[in-house]
Structure 1
């Protein structure tokens, strides 16, 4: 029979964010049983492991050894699992002695078993944490690229990334370590969030990850535990917030020579692909609508990062617009059909507005189905979506065109329906009255654009003024509502 030590293959360095914690199978083996009469006594077995339950409900185990302590989510109550974990712990201790590594005093090891397709082989995912310096480390050279940390610019920048991973570890294993944590981490967190809330209230381009409303809610929750000893539940959400803040600090190069102080000014040159000619043609054909979405998408996606409140505002605006256009485009569709049924009307003249209105309805419906729930998405989901949607050859132009289709085709359906009506008028009352009606509609449209425009420039040519007023109309009619700032 093969022993557990025969299954040992290798150690695999991981981070606190690349474990299988949220990727496990959720199947449970439920059964009925019978209890004996009288009070049921809980049975306990002698073990070096202590069990704890995370506030979310996950069971984990902790054990102190001579050189370090160990935490794992493996079920070491199972004898085979315990033997396998013990074998890996012995291998790790042997590796430490061979490499001559001196471990810090407040050192903790995380281990997780990884089984290959064949159940006869396994690996051990691991990382060490130092509670004093608040960082992760390993027994071998590791690459920040392999761990998905992102590119670093200095050693202190790497320390920020490692501290973020440390807080994620504390968030996942808070129950046994809360007694040795200083209450200052709560007080310092309150100070950081207070500053972030004020920064968001006084700046439209603050880099702090939470809105002022969210900061106010967080401060209310944190203040309830201020002055109280840290327990596991409090430490769990305090560590989660510290992890989020350190992640934002890493992204914005906090504490570095060229820190990002404004979210609209990325500290590194962006690889922007701008097909100027194609974009101009797309805007000409689609009434200038893609230009708005193109600039908004670039503002949202700053250096592989998404500020979630701006994403939610943008998605809410888009979804609301698409829903409204379904109703208006359907009205144009019905109106075009009714006009085609008038005496002396031509059915062929109705095909163009009907096709445009149908295109608006179809594209709007598909976009609504595809983006259901996007206004409530997380920042990581939004960043992944934009990253995958950004073409290496065309940038955000394809996505901008797709987002513009419902409104642009609706505007085309309006124009074609008016042309259909003018054509019908021409056949009924003659060229003179039809031309007069068309001229009146054109002057009325320009007058509305002119008097509702914020610009006051009457020296340009008529074509330039029309284009300028139309661009103003576009930017004003679909502007995304920003959070209220001073």
Structure 2
């Protein structure tokens, strides 16, 4: 199946159809690509004029326009002056890079990555753009095919697969199951491709090469500060302001330490304002399971609160009694936990399966506040915190009802039993957060023997 369409030969341009259906044009003599419809005479004259001017400027600037150099043009409108402008870039197929003849701002090119200085580091983001170029214009790629491009991609996928299998902190932009599918796809391409890759195969290869080139740029590959593990930060952290620290400590206490645990999970995924699709999806799967379980517990706790309020001895009390008020607050807390869990679960279904790029946009918006990442950690811990406060208030309501109408003997027995239960409840929490204390006690006991 041919991707080339017939066009007036006198123009020197060829019309090609991209595997996804886009129509683009190529001038084999000048080696120029464009998406602008050169079948329109006015556009044809402007594109030819721009191409000739840029090629002359490149020669006068000392650029060696070898057969490996391609020029891409696009006509557009300047949003400020509303005048027609011609955007361009040159692509070097040997070096796998793009270059321009004029100065170019790097704000959009670096995608917000800080500390980019070395040329060897910048090269990876340029290579990412080059593979985007190859995917957009996949025809006439015989040189890449003959140089073993498919085998190169296969070696990259094999190494990434081994890294995912042997490490829990792999930097691969794909998960193990996805890598296995990609490897099967490459094996199929090797079986069907004889000497050179078709435009369809070039699109597939270029798309995968984009991901790995972009990952190398974000991970500072080849630099002295290169990220070697997925949860490793390469930037120095600033000291937190005292006011923020005090507020964070108070919120941590009110939420029963849940924000700290959520913050650790978030830091494993949201590292230096970037993430990868496998870790993002795994993170959201864990959150979904957690919120589903909290929803079940909240439903049970809501049933308990409503049943408690229907007890005759509770109804016999005044509406201002401690037991009634505590039961009401417990019910409100549990309902709040249930509602927040459902809302977060719905949000998670919407953004949990998006790509890494969309996940970065979502996380940037969610953490764009004075508390930064901690704000999202607090939000994720709200279902757990509200459920715990519901339980605490229910215990207060139940305890007031029990200790108010119990004799002295039963009061002592109930108080001792309640104290034992409280100690047993706090034991695992204390052991997890203060393991050095238990180690010290164990050492003292061992030494005394």
TM-score, length basis structure 1: 0.77
Which one of 200, 210, 215 corresponds to residue 233 of structure 1?
Answer: 200
State the Cα RMSD in Å.
3.1
- Alignment partner for residue 299 of structure 1, among 255, 260, 268? 268
Aligned residue for 1:333?
A: 302
Match of 2:58 among 89, 93, 96: 96
Contact 2:231–2:267 (CA under 8 A) maintained in structure 1? no
Question: 2:444 is matched with which residue?
Answer: none
Spell out, residue by residue over 1:21-70, the C-alpha distance to the aligned partner (whole angstroms, 9 max, x if none).
Answer: xxxxxxxxxxxxxxxxxxxxx986444221222222222111123xx411
Per-residue CA deviation, residues 260-301 of structure 1 (Å, 9 max, x unaligned), is 222333333245747433222212111111111112212212
> Is 1:364 paired with 2:341?
yes
- Secondary structure of the corresponding residue to residue 129 of structure 1: strand
Q: For residues 165 and 450 of structure 1, do their structure 2 counterparts lie closer, same or farther at Cα, with a shift above 3 Å needed?
A: same
Cα 1:439–1:398, aligned 2, differ >3 Å: closer, same or farther? farther
**Aligned pair partner of 2:286 in 292, 317, 337:** 317
Higher helix share: 2
Instruction: Specify the SS of the correspondent of 2:313.
Output: coil
Tell me, what secondary structure is at the counterpart of 2:312?
Answer: coil
1:174 matched to 2:143:
no
Aligned equivalents of 1:307, 1:148: Cα separation in 2: 17
| Inter-CA distance 414–124: structure 2 relative to 1 (3 Å threshold) | same
Tell me how far apart the structure 2 counterparts of residues 451 and 98 of structure 1 sit (CA, whole Å): 75
Q: Partners in 2 of 1:354 and 1:128 — Cα distance?
A: 66
Structure 2: 5+ residue stretches without partners:
318-323, 442-449
SS in 2 for 1:216: helix
Partner secondary structure for residue 363 of structure 1? helix
8 A Cα contact 1:206 1:262, kept in partner? yes
1:416 is aligned to 2:393: yes
Tell me what 2:167 maps to.
203
Name the TM-score, length of structure 2 as normaliser: 0.83
| Structure 1: runs of 5+ lacking an equivalent | 1-41, 466-486
Alignment pair present for 1:80 and 2:42: yes
Q: What secondary structure is seen at the aligned counterpart in 2 of 1:112?
A: strand
Q: How many residues align?
A: 420
Alignment partners' CA distance in 1, 2:302 and 2:53: 73
Q: What CA distance in whole angstroms lies between the structure 1 residues aligned with 2:143 and 2:437?
A: 73
1:389 to 1:180, Cα distance in 2 relative to 1, 3 A: closer
Kindly provide the CA deviation profile for residues 357-404 of structure 1, in whole angstroms up to 9, marking residues without a partner as x.
Answer: 122123223322333332212111222222333346423121111111
Deviates more, 1:326-335 or 1:243-252: 326-335
Q: Comparing both chains, which one has the higher relative contact order based on Cα–Cα distances under 8 Å and sequence gaps of 6 or more?
A: 1
- Equivalent runs, 1:322-401 vs 2, <5 Å: 322-345=291-314, 346=317, 347-391=324-368, 393-401=370-378
- Which residue is 2:227 aligned to? 260
Contact (CA 8 Å) 1:344, 1:427: kept in 2 or not?
Answer: no
Deviation of residue 433 (structure 1)? 4.0
CA contact (8 A) 1:62 1:176 kept: no
Secondary structure of 1:111's aligned partner: strand
